[in-house]
Structures are given as structure tokens and as C-alpha cells.
């Protein structure tokens, strides 16, 4: 019972990331223990060290997997609104919020200081989140092609919008959103998206004004 037979081998690295994500539905990242993950995977804690440098590294891998998942969902949404750029922007924002609501623990991990693990590589280029930002930037460029948000660098606007939506998600997950009464906590966050869309709509010089 030291080394497993070939037929009962487990793909430890993959399972570890999966199971950690699952655990994040229940507990916060800080509370997750390697023994827990190992138990869920079907091995002992030290076995994880063969595939991850340590707890931090495992969490970092989950962090990255989270961004890949988010990107997938956003791509799917974008595909459904390939034409209408404004709709794409709104639906993208709402999809983002949905993601945060459905995976609160994972979302928090994705936006916690990845600690230590970020020094080795480029600060932003290699980050898994960069893909999401790039995608948002394209959506904004499409809006600009229709006359919205004229004369501003798309990258800057992308950062503004991402900031707002991420900020909303983050505040909601901390219970810091004003909850109107009996409503879903995410309602306030959806309101942020609505406000932003309104701002964008008004940014077009000539038509579309009350």
C-alpha cells in the first residue's frame, strides 16, 4: 500500500484542483487544509508535494483554473451576442456577476493577493486574468466602432469597467452592498452594471438622448 497499482492510479494534480474548487463552495480558501484536499482526492497530504510546490502553489493553480473557467463562460456569452456590442458588454458584466455569485469562494481566491507566487513571472502578462481584460477591451472597441465612448483609449475604459464590476462583486461577497430589503444581494451589483450601461449610452455624441 505504498505505491498504487497502475490500474488504480489517480491523476492527482487534476483531481486536487477539482476537489479544491469543490471545497471552496463550502469553505473559504484560508480554511482549506492539505489533508482535506488529499482526502477528497484519495491520497495523503504529502503526495500532493510531488505535483505542487506547496499549499500556496496548489491554491495558485486553482486561482488560474478559476480564470480559465471564467473566460470560458464569458466567451460563451460573447458568442451569443456577436453582433450588438452594447448587449455583449451588458451580458458580459452580468455573466461575470453570476460567476462570482455561483463560486464565491473561488472568486475570492481569484482576487486575493496570490502571495509570493507572483514574483517569479511577469507581473501582468502571464496572469490568467489578462485574458479576461483583453476580451473586455475588444468588446469596448466594438462599442467605440458604433460611436460610443469616443476618443478614449479602450484599455483605460476596459479597466474602468472591470474595476466597477469586480468591485461590485467583491463588495457584495463581503456583505457590503446595500441590500434594498428582501432582495437578492446581487441585485445591487446588477444595478452597477445598469448604471454603467447608462453612462456608456450617454457617451455617444449625437443620438440616443432623452
Partner DNA sequence: GATGTTAAATTAATCTCATTAATTTCCTCG
Partner DNA sequence: CGAGGAAATTAATGAGATTAATTTAACATC
CB 48, min distance to its own copies, A: 20
Rg (CA), the chain: 20
60 binds its own copies (CB under 8 A): no
Q: Which of 120, 175, 182, 207 binds its own copies (CB under 8 A)?
A: 175
Max CA-CA distance within the chain?
75
Q: Which is nearer to its own copies, 38 or 59 (CB)?
A: 59
For residue 41, give every residue at least 6 positions away whose Cβ sits within 8 Å of its Cβ, in sequence order, or none: 10, 12, 15, 16, 19, 48
CB 130, min distance to its own copies, A: 8
CB 12, min distance to its own copies, A: 26
- The answer to whether the beta carbons of residues 25 and 66 sit under 8 Å apart is no
Q: Which residues bind DNA (CB under 7 A)?
A: 1-7, 9-10, 12, 32-35, 38, 43-47, 49-50, 54-56
CB 19, min distance to DNA, A: 14
113 binds its own copies (CB under 8 A): yes
Q: Which is nearer to its own copies, 10 or 112 (CB)?
A: 112
Alpha carbons 114 and 120: distance in angstroms, whole number: 12
55 binds its own copies (CB under 8 A): no
**Closest listed residue to residue 174, CA positions, set 114, 129, 113, 107:** 107
CA 152 vs CA 6, 137, 143, 148, 164: distances in Å:
58, 12, 12, 10, 17
Q: Which is nearer to DNA, 7 or 83 (CB)?
A: 7
Q: Show the binding pattern over residues 153-172: x = contacts its own copies (CB under 8 A), - = does not.
A: --xxx-xx-xxxxxxx-xx-
Amino acid at each position: 500500500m505504498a505505491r498504487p497499482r497502475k490500474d488504480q492510479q489517480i491523476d492527482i494534480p487534476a483531481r486536487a484542483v477539482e476537489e479544491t474548487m469543490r471545497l471552496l463552495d463550502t469553505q473559504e480558501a484560508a480554511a482549506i487544509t492539505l489533508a482535506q484536499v488529499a482526502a477528497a482526492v484519495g491520497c495523503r497530504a504529502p503526495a500532493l508535494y510531488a505535483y505542487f510546490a506547496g499549499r500556496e502553489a496548489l491554491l495558485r493553480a486553482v486561482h488560474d483554473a478559476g480564470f480559465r473557467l471564467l473566460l470560458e463562460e464569458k466567451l460563451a456569452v460573447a458568442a451569443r451576442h456577436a453582433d450588438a456590442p452594447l448587449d455583449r458588454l451588458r451580458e458580459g458584466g452580468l455573466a461575470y456577476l453570476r460567476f462570482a455569485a455561483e463560486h464565491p469562494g473561488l472568486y475570492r481566491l481569484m482576487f486575493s493577493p496570490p502571495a509570493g507566487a507572483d514574483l517569479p513571472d511577469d507581473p501582468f502578462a502571464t496572469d490568467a486574468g489578462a485574458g479576461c481584460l483583453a476580451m473586455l477591451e475588444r468588446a469596448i472597441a466594438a462599442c467605440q466602432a458604433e460611436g460610443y465612448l469616443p476618443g478614449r483609449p479602450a484599455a483605460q475604459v476596459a479597466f474602468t469597467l472591470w474595476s466597477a464590476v469586480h468591485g461590485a462583486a467583491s463588495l457584495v461577497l463581503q456583505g457590503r452592498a446595500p441590500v434594498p430589503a428582501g432582495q437578492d444581494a446581487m441585485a445591487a451589483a446588477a444595478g452597477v452594471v445598469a448604471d454603467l450601461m447608462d453612462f456608456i449610452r450617454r457617451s455617444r455624441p449625437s443620438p440616443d438622448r432623452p
